[in-house]
Amino acid sequence: MPAQQLKQNGDFLALTLANPDGLSPAHFSLDNGTQVEIWDTGVIYFEPARSGQLDIVLSCGVHGNETAPIEICAALVRDLLLGKLQLSERLLVLFGNPAAINNGTREIEENLNRLFSGHHSKGAGLINAERRRAQALENYVSRFYQHGGEGRERALYDLHTAIRGSRFEKFAVCPFLHGKPWKKAQFQLLAACEVTTVLLMQTPASTFSYYASNSHGADAFTVELGKVRPFGENDMRRFAKAEQTLRALVSGALPPFSEFRQADFQLYEVYRSINKQTQDFKLHFADDVENFTSYPLGSLLATDGDLEYRVEREGEAIIFPNAKVAIGQRAMLMVVPKDVSGQLI
Ligand SMILES: O=C(O)CCC(=O)N[C@@H](CCC(=O)O)C(=O)O
Ligand SMILES: [Zn+2]
């Protein structure tokens, strides 16, 4: 009986990974009055006896080999189930792709984080487990926010790790807001997680964070915590502030933020997105070159068949270079520093 087992060991991750293809719904209460509902494998909902004003989704493992965030979320869920962490906000925790976590790979057949906002059903349709999972995750997030009701604050933090090392070890991606202002309080929350580098996207995307932001009005971010490493090889001390801050957020115990100063942040916007067009796409720098590295004007960055991509702007820096993506998908972003004065609330 999962309820009994979970109340004793708190190990929802183990239960998820033992049942990667699905878990029957279950519902139970904790001694402190928190209601717990299992909606599916990797999908667990907590409703405190008295809820604050914020509905929070925490997700991890959308890419199966990005383990540090999975460890952070598994420990947070464990401490909630064991009554060691007090909850004061409605919370949905998602382990995105259990089969890929078991496999220790980014994906099984298709990149889950390119399938949201209905992309799961485009083209060939719901032909693989990742497409069906993307649709299911959208439905769970919709159910969660709709049950909370309108007029409440909504947040989603989708926790990832980058494939490469980064000049800024931790950074966030803020999905395109369609002209809405950025929120100082969200930047301050990220800073409390020791995330002071933020990439501000300029176009819609098929990512989970864009879906939550655009379809549900959530304050949503993809948060990159270090570099991909197998379970057991993460130095979790490097993410201690992020972990503490997320715990404080769900407990309604965030200490007041210090005053917002743009100078405390490294803000970037996308100057151009380079999509892979042929099987011959090739990066012209080494695998250990870090995210946010920039090169002199004119330097050759990548070739794609006859196409050449060279540095076009002073200060242009690389993020997420990956020659192994599927054809048609983004193989690299080129970013430039951004001034947001006057566009913040
Ligand atoms: O390091 C990489 O190349 C990828 C790390 C990662 O999974 N990043 C996310 C970012 C999502 C976003 O743009 O909001 C992804 O590529 O899905
Ligand atoms: Zn990822």
What is the pLDDT, as a whole number, of residue 149? 86
Which residues of the chain fall short of a pLDDT of 50?
none
Q: Which listed ligand is nearest to 59 at the C-alpha?
A: 2
Q: To test the ligand 1 pocket, which listed residue (160, 169, 333) has its Cβ within 8 A of the most ligand atoms?
A: 160
Q: Is the ipTM of this complex over 0.90?
A: yes
Ligand 1 atom with minimal separation from the 319 CA: 3
What is the pLDDT, as a whole number, of residue 163? 97
Catalytic residue among 47, 224, 243, 316: 224
Each domain of the chain, given as residue ranges in start order, spans 2-262, 272-337
pLDDT in tens, 176-198: 999 999 999 999 999 999 999 99
Supply the pTM of this predicted model: 0.97
Name the CATH code of domain 272-337 (choices 2.40.50.630, 3.80.30.20, 3.40.30.160, 2.60.260.20).
2.40.50.630
CB of 56 closer than 8 Å to CB of 245: no
Q: Which listed ligand is nearest to 223 at the C-alpha?
A: 1
Domain 2-262 architecture: 3-Layer(aba) Sandwich (3.40)
- Is 160 known as a binding-site position? yes
Q: Which listed ligand is nearest to 226 at the C-alpha?
A: 1
Percent of the chain with pLDDT over 70: 100
- Is 119 known as a binding-site position? no
Q: Is 314 a catalytic residue?
A: no
Q: Which residues line ligand 1 (CB under 6 A)?
A: 63, 113, 160, 162-164, 173, 205, 207, 209, 222, 320, 322
Task: Output the CA 174–ligand 1 centroid distance in Å.
Answer: 12
Q: 3-state SS of the chain?
A: CHHHHHHHHCCHHHHHHHCCCCCCCEEEECCCCCEEEEEECCEEEEECCCCCCEEEEEEECCCCCCHHHHHHHHHHHHHHHCCCCCCCCEEEEEECCHHHHHHCCCCCCCCHHHCCCCHHHCCCCCCCHHHHHHHHHHHHHHHHHHHHCCCCEEEEEEEEEECCCECCCEEEEECCCCCCCECHHHHHHHHHCCCCEEEECCCCCCCHHHHHHHHHCCEEEEEEEEECCCCCCCCHHHHHHHHHHHHHHHCCCCCCCCCCCHHHCEEEEEEEEEECCCCCCEECCCCCCCECCECCCCCEEEEECCEEEECCCCCCEEECCCCCCCCCCEEEEEEEECCCCCCEC
Q: What's the mean per-residue pLDDT of the chain?
A: 97
What is the pLDDT, as a whole number, of residue 80? 98
- Is 63 known as a binding-site position? yes
Task: Output the CA 256–ligand 2 centroid distance in Å.
Answer: 30
pLDDT in tens, 5-64: 999 999 999 999 999 999 999 999 999 999 999 999 999 999 999 999 999 999 999 999
What is the pLDDT, as a whole number, of residue 1? 64
